[in-house]
Structure 1
Amino acid sequence: AAVELLAAGWRVLANGKPFRPATAFAARVRSGQSWFEVEGNIEFDGERLALPELLRAARRGQRLVELGDGSFGLLPEAWLTRLGVLGADDAGAGKVRVPRSQLLFLDELASAEAGVSVDAAFQRLREELRAFAELSPAEPPPTFRGELRDYQRQGLAWMQLLGRSGFGGCLADDMGLGKTVQVLALLLGRKRRRRSLPSLVVAPSSVVFNWAEEARRFAPSLRAVIHAGPTRAPLEEALQRADVIVTSYALLRREAPAFTAAEFDCVILDEAQAIKNHETETAKVARALRASARLTMTGTPIENHLGELASQLEFLNPGLLGSSPRLAKALLSGHADAETLQLVQRAVKPFLLRRTKREVARELPERVEQDVFVELGKRERRRYDELLRHYRRRIEDQVAKVGLTRSTPQVLEALLRLRQAACHPGLIDPARRVEPSAKLDRVIEEIERIGELGERCLVFSQFTSLLAILRDRLDARGVRYEYLDGRTRHRQAAVERFQSSEGAPVFLISLLAGGVGLNLTAAEHVLLLDPWWNPAVEAQAIDRSHRIGQTRTVFAYKLIARGTVEEKVIALQKEKRALAEAILGDGAGLGGKLTREDLEVLLG
C-alpha cells in the first residue's frame, strides 16, 4: 500500500519516520580483466544509499532499506529483480565487482536506467553479444574437408564470436545436425591462428572413437590423439604431439590431477548432460580444467529447463551464478518468479545455440546417413580376440588341407560367429544374454536420446536373438515398443499402432521380415544394429521410413564395432563390392572371389 500512496503523492510515515520513494539511480561501469567494477548509488528523495548496501538489500529481497537519517527508502520491485541477480562482491569505497560472465545482467540494468554510464570496452562487448543473432555465416578454414551447410556456418560464426569475446557457449543443436563437424571447423581455425596448446574433447566412452573418425574425415590435418584404452600413453605425451586430445569422462575423473594441471586451448564437453549435477566429481573436475575457451555440446532441448543447465553454464562461464541467492534459485531449482526467470533467459540466451531439424529442414537432404563406431568393452574385446584366434587357426589349417574354395562353409561360419560376437556375447552363448554389450548400451543411449526429443525410431537387426535381448532391456526400462519378425501374425496391426499419434516410440524389426513392404513414416530415425554390407538391403531398411508420405528428414545410423570383422568388411566393401556381396550372399562362388589376402584382412 505504501508504494501506491507514495506514487499518488502522499507522505507516508511509520513510527514517525518517513518512507521515501526511489527517485534516481546513478552508476558507472568500468571494465577489468575478468570483472566489471561498478560504482554508484540510489537516491531516495534527497537521501543516498551506496551500491554495496543496495545490493545486500536486494539479495535479501528487502523492499525497505534504512537510510542515514533514520528514514526508510522503498525499493521498486523491478530494481529488486535486476539488482538481485548480480553476483557482485564489495570492492570498497562504494564500489562492487561483478564477474565478466554477468555482462548481460549488467546490460539489462544499464539499458533500463538512464543514469548508468559504461566505458568503451563494455559498450563494444555488449554490442557484439546483442548482434549474435545477425552474425554473417563464417567460412571454414581451407584445411576443412567437406562443406558446411548455412546453419553450420552460422554456428561456426557464433562459436568464433564467443571465443573472441572470452565467453563459453553451449551448442545444443538437434541430434543429427552435425555438431561435431562445426566444432572441428572451429578447432582447425584456432590451430591455424598459431595456437600452440592442444584442445581437449571429453565425451562418453561410447563416442570417443567417433571423434577420431570424424576428425580423420573432415579435418585430416588436425592431429587427433585418443587418450583411452589400457595401452594409452601418459597424458604428458599426448600433450606434446596432439592438436586435440579426445578422452572419456571416466578417464577425466580417474586422471583428474594430470588433466587439471595441464593447460588447453579449448575444452569441449560432448554430451554435456554428464555434468548436469554440479555436485558430482565429473562436474567438479570439468570446472577445474584450465583453458582459453570452453564449449559444451548436447542434443537435448534446454531452453525451458534452466535448472538442468546451471552446471553447464557455470562450467562455460565461471561466476555466472555469482553469489546471488535469487539467481542460484532461478537456475539451480528452476523455481523463481516469472520476471526473474525471464531476465535469466534473456541473459543466458547468447551463450546457447539451438537449431531443430524442423527449423533447418530446407537445408537438409532428405536422408542423412552416419556410421557410428562402438568400442568393445574389455571383456568383450578379450572374448572376441579369443574367438578370432580360434577361427584363424582353424581356417588356416582347413585351407592348407583342401584349398580355399572347398573351405567356403568354414569361412562363412567364422564370419558369422565373429559378426555375432561383435554385437553381443549372448548370440554366441545364450547363457550370457544378461551380460553387458557396448553396442547394445549405445543403442539404448540412442533410443533414450531420440525419445527425449519426442521422436521415434526403427531398429533393424539380422539377428532376432539380438532383438530379443534388446526387448529385455527395453522392458526393464519401461520403454514401449512394437516388434516384428517372421513369426509375427498381425503385421499390419503392429504397423498401424506405430503409425498412430499415440504409437510406441520404438519399432524393433527383423531384417528378413521387415526389410521390405512396410510403410513406417512415423519414424524419422533408423538404427542399423549390425551392418548389412549389401547396400541394397541396407537402403531397403532405411526406406521403411524414407518414402512417400515422409515429411521430415530421415536420419540413419549404422552401428559398427571397432576393430572387428564388421569394420574390416565395410572397408573392403569400398574396394571390392563383389567380395562383400559374396560374404552376405549364400556363399556361392565365394572361393573364386575371396583371395588369401582378403582372408588375411578379414581374420587378421
Structure 2
Amino acid sequence: MSRIESREPVVDQKLRFLITENGFSIEHRGEIEKETVQYWYDRFIQDKFKALYDLGFQERPDWLDAAGSFLYLVSDTFQTCLLRQPELELLRDGTMFSADEDLMERLLKSVPFSPGSEYIDPGWIASVFERLHKIFAVEIRAFSGSIELYFADKSQHLRVPERIFFHLVENRDDGSGDGSYPFAFLATYSTKTKTGKISHKPLQYALTEYKNDREKLIILLSCLNRVSELSRLIGEFVRSGEMFHPLRLTAGEAYQLLKDIPAIESTGIICRIPNWWKKHSSSVFMKVNIGQDKVPLFGLETMISMVPELVVGGVPLSREDVEALLSETEGLAFLKGRWVEVDHARLEELIKAMDSFKGEITLKDAMKLELGEPADDLSPDVGTMVSNGAFLQKLLSDMRSPGRLRRAGLPKHFNAILRPYQNTGYTWLNYMNKIGFGACLADDMGLGKTVQILAFLQRMYQDNKEARALLVVPASLLGNWEKEIGKFAPKLPYFILHGGGKTMGKNLLSDPVFLTITTYGMTHRVAELEEITWDALILDEAQAIKNPVSKQTRQIKALKGRMRIAMTGTPIENDLSNLWSLFDFLNKGLLGSSGEFHEFCLKLDDRPEGYAHLKAMISPFMLRRLKTDKSIISDLPDKLEQIEYVSLSKKQAVLYRKYVAMLADKLNGKLTGMERRGLVLASLIKLKQICNHPDQYLGEKGYEEKDSGKFSILREICETIYEKRERVLVFTQFTEIIPYLDDFLAGIFHQRGLTLHGGTHVRTRQKLVETFQAEDYMPYMILSVKAGGTGLNLTKASHVIHFDRWWNPAVENQATDRAFRIGQKNNVVVHKLVCERTIEEKINVLIESKKELAENVVGSGSENWITEMSNEELMKILTLD
C-alpha cells in the first residue's frame, strides 16, 4: 500500500471554494461529516450558480470558508439589490438589475484573503450578479404567483418592496420669505404605462388610476397603515390626507422623518433622501490629523504628532461654531452652507475629548488604527475620524508604491541587469532598510526574488564591509543559493553553516564573514547565532514560520536583526494566523498580540469590511507582484526557465558513489565495444534513478520524502503552486515512478491529479486533457516525456516541472510546449530539477555552455554520444565531486 493511500481519510467540516477568473469552483477536500454540508456540496457540484442563488436565501451558515462566506455575501447582496427594485411585480422577469453603489463598495472592501481573490473586481462581481439574475428571471417566468409569494417560498425573512416611494429634498426657495420650510416631501408610486414602460407619479394619481378597482388600490396603499404605526409624522400625514399632496416641512419635521427612515423602509417603502444624511456627513466628528510634520524615522516606535479638530462634512469647525450649535435646539441646524445634526450631549463629549487630548502617538499605534483599534486618546464612543497628515501620507505612499522612489544604483561587482520591476524591488528593500522597517518580498514564483535580495546584500556589503547578514533557507535550497551567488555576486563573501560539529558556530564569532547562510534546522543547534545582532536577517520560503507556536518559529524569532526580510512566493495571507506570525517576525506588535489579532479575525464574519482595513495596514510592508500584473507581463519572457539545484540525501549519495565505483571496476575489465556501450547506457539510467529516488533504483515501494532531494524540492515548489491554486505539468521519462509521484502530489494538493503515459488509451488521453483544461480546479498532471511530448494542449498549466532530465533539449522543449502554445494566457515557469555534483549537473553545464553540441550531438535524440567518451572522461562526469 502506498504512503498516501494508507492515510486516514480527511474529514472536512467546511465547504471550501476557489475563486477563478470567470467565477468560482468548489474544492475537493476529503470526506464531509455533516449532512447539511454534504447536501450543499452536492448542490454546488451539480449546478454551482443555482446553488449559490438558493444559498443566499438561507441564514448565513457557519460551515463556509472565507471564500464561501464572501460568495454568500455576493448572493445576499444580489437579493438585497433585487428587492430594492419597486418595479419587481410589474416587470417580473423583465426587471433590469442594477447594483447599489454603496453595497458594491462594501463587497469590494469585504474581499477576503483566499486563493484567487486577486480576480475579484467590479467586473467579476457584475458577472456573478448577471448569472444570478438570469436564474431569477428563469424561475419567475415559470412562477404563476405574485413576486411576494415567490420570495415567501424562498424565505420568510424577505420583504418585497412596495410600489410607494417617499421623497425628501432640500427646498431652498420655500416661498415663506423667512426660510421656515427648508424641506419638501412628496409620496409617489410606480406604475406601468400603456407602452409597458415604468413611470413614477405623485400618489394622488393612484386615486384616479384605481378608482374602478378598489381592491388594487387597497393593496397599493396598505403599507401606509403599517408605516403610520411606526412614524408619528407619517401617521399625521395619512390621517389628514396630506400624504396625497406635496408638502413643505420645517427643519424639525424633516429631522423627525430622517430619524424614522429605518422603520419606514422596514415596511417595504423606498425612501429617497439627501446624500448628506445617508453618508452621515451631517454629523459632527472629531478628526485627528496624524503625522503632519516630518520627523526622523526609527522604525515603528517613532513618535509622530496628533492634531485634533472638529469637522462636519469635511469642513472644520471652530470652538465658536460648536458653541453656536449648542445654543440651537436639537435637530437640524444650517451652518457654513450645510445641514448639521445637533446633539448636545455628543457635542459636549467631543469638546471634552478635545480638551484632554495628549497629542503624540507611536507610528505602530498609528498604523493599528487601520484595523479599527482606537488609540488610548481616541474613544470610539465619541465618533473619531483619523486622517493621515502630509508626512505620514507620503511615507505610506512611498512604501506602497515604490515605483515612485528614486532608483537606487546597482552595486559594483553585481553581474546582472535587473528587469524594471526587479529594480523597483531592490530600491524598495534599500528604502525599507533606511527607514527601519521589516519587509516582505512576496513576488510570484519565477519573478526573481533571489536576484533582488543578492543585489540588496551586495549593496549592503559595498556600503559597510563590517556588516553581518544571516540568510536562513530550507536545506533543499542551499545549492540554489550557492549557484546564484556564484552567478550574480561572485565577490560577495559568504559562509555556509550546515552539517555537524559544535565548533562551526564558534567560527561565526572568531572569523566573521559578511553573509552566513544556514538552514531552519540549524538555527536551534548553533547557539552563537543568537549572540550576533545581524544587520540583515533574511528568511527564504518564510512560510516555514507560519506556525506561531512551533519550536522552529520561536527559535527564528529569538534571532536579533536590525533589518528583517521575509521572502515568500506563497500568499501567506490565505491563512490569517500565518499572516500574524510573519508580521510578528517582521514588525513585532504591528498586528497586536496573537490574542488581539485572533479577536479581530473572529469579527470578520460580521464585519467583512475589516479585510480592507487589514490589507491597508500590511500593504506598506509587503511588496507582491504577480505574473498576471499588466505592468509585469510586458517585461517578462514567454517562458521563465530556471534550474532548481537539488542536494542528494545521504542515502542517495552512498548509493551513487557505490554504483560509480562498481562501474569503474567493470570499465577497467575486458569489454567489447558493444558490451561497453550497453553498460554505459544502462548505468546512465541507474544513476538517473538514484537521483530521482533510491527506491526507484532499488525496486522498493517506500518512497520516503527524506530519502530524496528531488522529492523535498518538489514539495517546496508544489506547496507554493497549491497556495495559489495554479496548475502544473510534471514530466518524467520513467513510467514506473509515476504512481509514487501521484501519491506524493495528492498529499500536497489535497486531491488526486491526472497521469498520462504510453499505456494510456487515445480516448482516455482526450478526456484527461478536457478535465485538466476545465474550469474546476485540477492541480496537476504527471506525464511521461514521450507520451506527453506531442498532440496535447494543456494551456491551463502555469508551471512545468522536469522531474528528471531527458538530455535532449528538443524533446524537453516539445514537452514544455504542451503548456506554452497558442491559447496560453499565463506566463509559464519551467523548473528543471538537477542534482548537484552528479552527472545531471555536469551534463546540464555541457548543454548550457556548448549550444552547438547541444543542438547537434546531444540533440540527436539519443544518449549514445556519452558512450563515445573515454573511461577517464566518463568518470569525470559521473563521479560525485
TM-score, normalised to structure 2, is 0.55
1:528–1:557 Cα contact (<8 Å) kept: yes
1:227–1:238 Cα contact (<8 Å) kept: no
Deviates further, 104-113 or 316-325: 104-113
2:303–2:363 Cα contact (<8 Å) kept: no
Selected match of 1:150 from 416, 420, 426: 420
Task: Note the 1:294-305 alignment, pairs <5 A.
Answer: 294-302=564-572, 305=575
> How many Å apart are 1:581 and its aligned residue?
4.6
Task: Note the 1:418-497 alignment, pairs <5 A.
Answer: 418-436=687-705, 437-476=708-747, 478-489=750-761, 490-497=764-771
Q: Deviations over 1:578-599 (max 9, x none)?
A: 5995699555565544462343
Residue 223 of structure 2: aligned partner: none
Q: Deviations over 1:435-467 (max 9, x none)?
A: 332212322332232122121111100111121
Compared with structure 1, are the counterparts of its residues 353 and 38 closer, same or farther at alpha carbon in structure 2 (3 Å cutoff)? closer
Q: Deviations over 1:219-257 (max 9, x none)?
A: 1121232222347971343563533222111111332x2
Compared with structure 1, are the counterparts of its residues 403 and 276 closer, same or farther at alpha carbon in structure 2 (3 Å cutoff)? same
Q: Which runs of 5+ in 2 are unaligned?
A: 1-251, 257-283, 311-318, 320-344
Q: Which amino acid aligns with 1:367?
A: K
Residue 569 of structure 1: aligned partner: 843
Structure 2 distance, partners of 1:583, 1:504, is 33
Residue 519 of structure 1: aligned partner: 793
Q: Deviations over 1:53-77 (max 9, x none)?
A: xxxxxxxxxxxxxxxxxx999978x
Compared with structure 1, are the counterparts of its residues 333 and 553 closer, same or farther at alpha carbon in structure 2 (3 Å cutoff)? same
Whether 1:352 aligns to 2:622 is yes
> How many Å apart are 1:557 and its aligned residue?
0.3
Residue 371 of structure 1: aligned partner: 643
Deviates further, 347-356 or 237-246: 237-246
Whether 1:536 aligns to 2:536 is no
Deviates further, 542-551 or 35-44: 35-44
Structure 2 distance, partners of 1:578, 1:39, is 68
Aligned length: 543
Residue 824 of structure 2: aligned partner: 550
Structure 1 distance, partners of 2:744, 2:309, is 65
Selected match of 1:502 from 760, 772, 776: 776
Task: Note the 1:42-191 alignment, pairs <5 A.
Answer: 100-105=363-368, 129=399, 132=402, 134-191=404-461
Whether 1:312 aligns to 2:582 is yes
Residue 599 of structure 1: aligned partner: 875
1:497–1:504 Cα contact (<8 Å) kept: yes
Compared with structure 1, are the counterparts of its residues 334 and 428 closer, same or farther at alpha carbon in structure 2 (3 Å cutoff)? farther
1:412–1:583 Cα contact (<8 Å) kept: no
> How many Å apart are 1:381 and its aligned residue?
2.3
Structure 1 distance, partners of 2:502, 2:843, is 26
Q: Which amino acid aligns with 2:760?
A: T
Structure 2 distance, partners of 1:468, 1:137, is 50
Selected match of 2:535 from 237, 261, 265: 265
SS at match of 1:234: helix
Q: Percentage identity across aligned positions?
A: 33
Selected match of 1:245 from 516, 536, 540: 516
1:37–1:96 Cα contact (<8 Å) kept: no
Q: Which amino acid aligns with 2:428?
A: W
Compared with structure 1, are the counterparts of its residues 287 and 74 closer, same or farther at alpha carbon in structure 2 (3 Å cutoff)? farther
1:125–1:165 Cα contact (<8 Å) kept: no
Deviates further, 277-286 or 452-461: 277-286
> How many Å apart are 1:38 and its aligned residue?
7.3
SS at match of 2:523: helix
Query: Which structure has the larger Rg?
Result: 2
> How many Å apart are 1:317 and its aligned residue?
1.1
TM-score, normalised to structure 1, is 0.78
Structure 2 distance, partners of 1:26, 1:123, is 11
> How many Å apart are 1:318 and its aligned residue?
2.1
Residue 599 of structure 2: aligned partner: 329
Structure 2 distance, partners of 1:232, 1:249, is 17
2:728–2:801 Cα contact (<8 Å) kept: yes
Compared with structure 1, are the counterparts of its residues 414 and 116 closer, same or farther at alpha carbon in structure 2 (3 Å cutoff)? closer
1:197–1:263 Cα contact (<8 Å) kept: no
Q: Which runs of 5+ in 1 are unaligned?
A: 10-20, 47-70, 80-92
2:681–2:867 Cα contact (<8 Å) kept: no
Residue 679 of structure 2: aligned partner: 410
1:268–1:297 Cα contact (<8 Å) kept: yes
Structure 1 distance, partners of 2:864, 2:287, is 90
Compared with structure 1, are the counterparts of its residues 594 and 339 closer, same or farther at alpha carbon in structure 2 (3 Å cutoff)? same
1:467–1:508 Cα contact (<8 Å) kept: yes
> How many Å apart are 1:539 and its aligned residue?
0.9
Structure 2 distance, partners of 1:466, 1:324, is 44
2:287–2:385 Cα contact (<8 Å) kept: no
SS at match of 1:319: coil
Structure 1 distance, partners of 2:421, 2:397, is 22
Q: Deviations over 1:489-533 (max 9, x none)?
A: 122221122122225221110012111222211112100000122
Q: Which amino acid aligns with 1:407?
A: R
Structure 2 distance, partners of 1:333, 1:419, is 53
Structure 1 distance, partners of 2:287, 2:489, is 56
> How many Å apart are 1:155 and its aligned residue?
1.1
> How many Å apart are 1:391 and its aligned residue?
2.2
Residue 551 of structure 2: aligned partner: 281
2:530–2:559 Cα contact (<8 Å) kept: yes
Compared with structure 1, are the counterparts of its residues 228 and 429 closer, same or farther at alpha carbon in structure 2 (3 Å cutoff)? same
Deviates further, 408-417 or 533-542: 408-417
SS at match of 2:691: helix
2:290–2:366 Cα contact (<8 Å) kept: no
2:660–2:878 Cα contact (<8 Å) kept: no
Residue 394 of structure 1: aligned partner: 666
> How many Å apart are 1:106 and its aligned residue?
6.8
Selected match of 1:211 from 481, 500, 512: 481
SS at match of 1:431: coil
2:727–2:798 Cα contact (<8 Å) kept: yes
Residue 492 of structure 2: aligned partner: 222
SS at match of 1:200: strand
Compared with structure 1, are the counterparts of its residues 272 and 332 closer, same or farther at alpha carbon in structure 2 (3 Å cutoff)? farther
Deviates further, 105-114 or 499-508: 105-114
1:210–1:372 Cα contact (<8 Å) kept: yes
Structure 2 distance, partners of 1:129, 1:481, is 40
SS at match of 1:513: coil
SS at match of 1:279: coil
Q: Which amino acid aligns with 1:505?
A: P
Q: Which amino acid aligns with 1:559?
A: L
2:580–2:594 Cα contact (<8 Å) kept: no
Residue 382 of structure 1: aligned partner: 654
Deviates further, 349-358 or 221-230: 221-230
Structure 1 distance, partners of 2:604, 2:616, is 15
Deviates further, 28-37 or 175-184: 28-37
